[in-house]
Amino acid sequence: MTAPMTARNFGLVPAAGSGSRFGASGPKQYSRLAGKPMLYHAVERLLAAPEIEAVFVVLAPGDTEFRRHDWSAFGERLAPLYCGGASRRDSVLNGLIAAASLVDPNDWMLVHDAARPCLGRAELRRLIEEAGKDDVGGILAVPVADTLKRADDEQRVLATEPRDGLWRAQTPQMFRHGMLMRALRDSVHATDEAAAVEALGYKPKLVEGSTKNLKVTFASDLDIAEGLLKLTTA
């Protein structure tokens, strides 16, 4: 399964969602954060790595908001694809298919959440270096530090779960284009790219990330993200 040393790196950001849990008008990825759309920061953080040749942003077919913003700072390294689907899995798979004529099956795809605007340069560097040396690929993740409780139907504690060996998955998640496309085609209900690759029988590498790599889920998270942007390097 050894791939040629000339494999290139590309980013892919699924940004076709409506952000139903976000509690604000309009898609979450365009929420203002430090004067720019949140999506802008996610793309900027990926393109901070010079090894990443381009970032494909997967948008909803009817998206009219993207063109209202200034993306000129990224030049030709940013490529919008209007092929988003009903789920994250669908959007990523559609994006991989749309980009297939521009990338090789052995090229690396770093799939990153549009709602993770605070990715640090050190964590991205670590992922590229460690996952890039792995036959399967890998993901950023952080070990679980909190005590975990399992609840019953009445929201009472049913059991305390051991946290040994448990990690919280983050993004980017870095896999070969060909492998990831095959994995997602076979895994209709995969909640992230790693789960789809796992379903093929592979074991992705866990690369330690940072708790600063926050996923913005609710509108109240924007204030936290704005503070974290000042503490992380793009």
Share of the chain above pLDDT 70, in %: 94
Examine residue 139 and state whether it is found in any structural domain, yes or no. yes
Decide which of 207 and 24 is more confident: 207
Element (H, E) at 193: helix 193-199
Examine residue 1 and state whether it is found in any structural domain, yes or no. no
* pLDDT value of residue 18: 72
Q: Name the domain count of the chain.
A: 1
Decide which of 4 and 53 is more confident: 53
CATH of the domain at 168: 3.90.550.10
Examine residue 15 and state whether it is found in any structural domain, yes or no. yes
Examine residue 213 and state whether it is found in any structural domain, yes or no. yes
Examine residue 4 and state whether it is found in any structural domain, yes or no. no
Q: Average pLDDT over the chain, rounded to whole? A: 93
* pLDDT value of residue 219: 87
* pLDDT value of residue 3: 47
Examine residue 2 and state whether it is found in any structural domain, yes or no. no
Q: What is the mean pLDDT of residues 138-158?
A: 96
Rounded to two decimals, what is the model's pTM? 0.93
Parent domain of 211? 9-229
Model pLDDT for residues 28-80, shown as the tens digit of each residue: 999 999 999 999 999 999 999 999 999 999 999 999 999 999 999 999 999 99
Examine residue 234 and state whether it is found in any structural domain, yes or no. no
Burial class (CB in 10 A: 0-12, 13-18, 19+), 104: middle
Examine residue 41 and state whether it is found in any structural domain, yes or no. yes
Three-state secondary structure call for residue 9: strand
